[in-house]
Amino acid sequence: MFKLLIVMPLLFAGFIALSVGGLVLLPLLALLPGLLALFAGMFGVALALAVIVFVVRLLAAILIGVGGLMVGIFGFVFLFAGGAIVLALGVALTHLLLPLLLVVGLIWLIRRSSPTAPPPLRVTHG
pLDDT tens string 17-41: 888 887 877 787 888 888 899 999 9
Local confidence band at 84 (pLDDT 50, 70, 90 cut-offs): very high
Q: Quote the CA–CA distance of 108 and 101 in Å, as a whole number.
A: 10
Local confidence band at 126 (pLDDT 50, 70, 90 cut-offs): low
DSSP per position, 96-110: HHHHHHHHHHHHHHH
Mean pLDDT over each residue of the chain, to the nearest integer: 89
DSSP per position, 55-93: HHHHHHHHHHHHHHHHHHHHHHHHHHHHHHHHHHHHHHH
**Can you give the pLDDT at residue 31?**
85
Distances (CA, A) of 18 to 7, 100, 102: 16, 114, 116
**What is the number of H-type helices and E-type strands within the chain?**
2, 0
Q: Give percent above pLDDT 90 in the chain.
A: 51
**Can you give the pLDDT at residue 69?**
95
Local confidence band at 104 (pLDDT 50, 70, 90 cut-offs): very high
Higher pLDDT, 48 or 4: 48
**Can you give the pLDDT at residue 106?**
94
